[in-house]
Chain A
Amino acid sequence: GESVGLHLPTLSVQEGDNSIINCAYSNSASDYFIWYKQESGKGPQFIIDIRSNMDKRQGQRVTVLLNKTVKHLSLQIAATQPGDSAVYFCAEMDSSYKLIFGSGTRLLVRP
């Protein structure tokens, strides 16, 4: 039969606006989370991380929020720029130190 490919959800924002990208993780025992940015044809690039004993962490123009109750992560990008256009993945580290990636969100920045 015909296979159906997966499609990444897309978030389109105006340059200069703030972006919020969401992610649900699967393992309540995970204690370390990372957000990655991936540009076309390249490997993932580290953006920011957070441990489970925190609920918020800020970097330069980026903030990660962790809600362990509902197993939810978000990445906030302030003053989004064209160079922020990419696919963003959250990843959780399991007990054997493997990184398990979420499904990803494509961010498009409109000039």
Chain B
Amino acid sequence: GAVVSQHPSRVICKSGTSVKIECRSLDFQATTMFWYRQFPKQSLMLMATSNEGSKATYEQGVEKDKFLINHASLTLSTLTVTSAHPEDSSFYICSGMRGRDGYTFGSGTRLTVV
């Protein structure tokens, strides 16, 4: 089946530094990739939608200058958390879209900012 590989699975960074999270679709072309954030005991909240070769579309309340998304190829999308702060600590999950109704999720990245 379709697989999205997400790395790293866990990362700890110092406050003020930047962290990059990668999602690769291994056996399909993900023209669209969705990025979610999930706080403990809460649901997945959509942050942004990225389409290959174009600028990402951010949901209301998500700072585009803080969460930089790049979707340079059909198999790779990256999320960079810039100038991270403790409140950015969360579980970040990507999802690649396979056609109209197929979504494959990555395994998530646990970000801890200290």
Binary contact readout B95-113 vs A (1 if CB under 8 angstroms, 0 otherwise): 1010011010111101000
Which of B39-47, B67-75, B77-85 participates in binding chain A? B39-47
- A-B CB pair tally, cutoff 8 Å: 53
Interface residues of A in 1-23 (CB under 8 A from B): 5-8
Chain A neighbourhood of B41, CB < 8 A: 5-8
Chain A neighbourhood of B45, CB < 8 A: 101
Main secondary structure of the interface of A (DSSP, over half): loop
| In-complex Cβ contact of A103 among B43, B91, B101 (8 A) | B43
Main secondary structure of the interface of B (DSSP, over half): strand
Binary contact readout A12-48 vs B (1 if CB under 8 angstroms, 0 otherwise): 0000000000000000000010101000011111100
- Closest B residue to A104 by beta carbon equals B43
Q: Is A99 an interface residue (CB 8 A)?
A: yes
Number of interface residues of B (CB under 8 A): 24
Chain A neighbourhood of B93, CB < 8 A: 43-44
Shortest distance from the beta carbon of A47 to any chain B beta carbon, whole Å: 12
A36 to B110, CA, bound (A): 19
Q: Which residues of A contact B (CB under 8 A)?
A: 5-8, 32, 34, 36, 41-46, 49, 89, 93, 96-104
